[in-house]
Amino acid sequence: LGWPEVRGVAEVMDMHGVLHGSERMQEIVQAGLNSGKLIEGHARGLSGADLQAYLAAGVTSDHELTSADDALEKLRAGLTIEIRGSHPYLLPDIVAALKTLPHLSSQITVCTDDVPPDMLLEKGGIIALLNLLIEHGLPAVDALRFATLNAALRLQRHDLGLIAAGRRADLVVFDSLEKLVAREVYVGGERLAHAGRLLKPIAPAPGVTPPRDTLPIAPLRADDFVLRVQGIRHGVARLRHIRGARFTQWGEVEVQVRDGKVQLPAGFSLIWVKHRHGRHEATPQIALLEGWGELRGAIATSYSHDSHNLVVLGRDADDMALAANQLIASGGGMALAQQGEILAHVAMPIAGMLSDLPAAELARQFRELRDLSSQVADWEPPYRVFKAIEGTCLACNAGPHLTDLGLTDGGSRQIVDPLIACRETPEPTDHNNNPQGA
């Protein structure tokens, strides 16, 4: 926070820690307050007294808008709301709600909150969001103000936001306000782009060594992706599990156990998480997952908000190991495996989250991976979508989530034992009275 380039504390996601007086979260927020800089929020699902307590702690913004009513409540509470483009299905209602207000506050801004590289290249980042807002009936001048003047006020950048004497000449020139297309881009008064093309190459920062080799994990075997029940060899177990893709709920299911291994019921898959940052001795965690349909193969990612551990989803242990090992070998990224083959792979060797490929090639690979993902999963918008892969372990949200420490309840912040009860039954035998598998 002492660095001038740092604008503040980014996205205080442990909202429950803030509300319940977590010493760690109090220290983080207080450091932000002491610096006099911004404290960005993540207030999904907070309303009423909880929302007021979150504000009182010092957090002053939120981009986790879940509905038009949610946006208005947070705006009226005094938060800066940051309308995002990653949930486009909410935008028509949010625009309609804003148009009912007598005045559009300077505390309305915009943000991206994850833009896939192919969409970034084809449609843009903030400009794509502004065009959606305009399509849904927001006057273009208001949309532009959200992204320029209001954003500059939020960031405490008094050198930006207006075309005026004494301000930086950072300018974007459009031909029309009906559909925003950047014709010219000026930075500090210098024309750097025309008609979508850079006029001057951007050199990498000198002396910066990107972090690589951040998946120090030994190669995995199919046996590493088997869910086991301790204390029972053959029988029946009742387990807690995760229901849902983005917004999860607790579920319970009775499963058969053979040789200590859970036999996956129809409609269920596995989620597996391994800590990869070297902060503690990590035992891989595994849990049952319902609501993703019948996964036909495996999905692996090291790009997984917000801890970015190695996460694997699937039903087939061989495919799960194959996808995970592909990422271990490439230093991270995302991979799809099916029937013993890698369907698609995007390497992210920088910190397991960034690619060093040219933008066009990265966009092509990512588009291919997303398109092929429908061979592994049955997507059902708006919640069971490809983006859900990135947020399935986001334990700050309500409901159950698998973390590198175990099955976690987002509301209570407690690690929960998935085993509710189990009972041993006689070992199955074949027609010769021999134990099966012997």
Q: Which residue has the higher pLDDT, 63 or 278?
A: 63
Banded pLDDT at 429 (limits 50, 70, 90): low
Banded pLDDT at 126 (limits 50, 70, 90): very high
Which pLDDT score, from 0 to 100, does residue 245 have? 85
> Phi and psi (nearest 5°) for 276?
-130, 10
Q: Please state the pTM of the whole predicted model.
A: 0.91
CATH class held by domain 8-198: alpha beta
Supply 299's token pair.
């999905």
As a whole-number percent, the residues of the chain with pLDDT over 90 amount to 84
Region 184-213 average pLDDT: 92
Banded pLDDT at 283 (limits 50, 70, 90): very high
pLDDT digits (tens, 9 = 90+) for 1-28: 999 989 999 999 999 899 999 999 999 9
Which pLDDT score, from 0 to 100, does residue 433 have? 52
> How would you label 99-115 residue by residue, b for 16+ Cβ within 10 Å and e otherwise?
eeeeebeebbbbbbeeb
Q: List Cα–Cα distances, 8 to 77, 232, 252, in angstroms.
A: 21, 51, 42
Spans of all domains in the chain: 8-198, 222-424
Which pLDDT score, from 0 to 100, does residue 426 have? 86
**What does the mean pLDDT of the chain come to?**
94
Lowest-confidence pick of 119-123, 169-173, 330-334 = 119-123
As a whole-number percent, the residues of the chain with pLDDT over 70 amount to 97
The single residue listed with the structure tokens 């947020």 is 391
CA-nearest of 115, 192, 100, 180 to 144 is: 180
pLDDT digits (tens, 9 = 90+) for 49-94: 999 999 999 999 999 999 999 999 999 999 999 999 888 999 999 9
Banded pLDDT at 246 (limits 50, 70, 90): confident
Residue 281 has pLDDT above 50, yes or no: yes
DSSP 10-68: EEE--HHHHHTT-HHHHHHHHHHHHHT-EEEE--TT--HHHHHHHHHTT--EE----SH
Region 273-295 average pLDDT: 91
Supply 239's token pair.
């387990």
Banded pLDDT at 381 (limits 50, 70, 90): confident
Which pLDDT score, from 0 to 100, does residue 413 have? 84
Cα separation, 343 vs 177, in Å, equals: 42
Contact 343, 314 (CB under 8 A): no
Contact 55, 79 (CB under 8 A): yes
Cα separation, 202 vs 192, in Å, equals: 10
Banded pLDDT at 431 (limits 50, 70, 90): low
Which pLDDT score, from 0 to 100, does residue 57 have? 96
Region 268-291 average pLDDT: 93
Residue 38 has pLDDT above 70, yes or no: yes
Which pLDDT score, from 0 to 100, does residue 435 have? 47
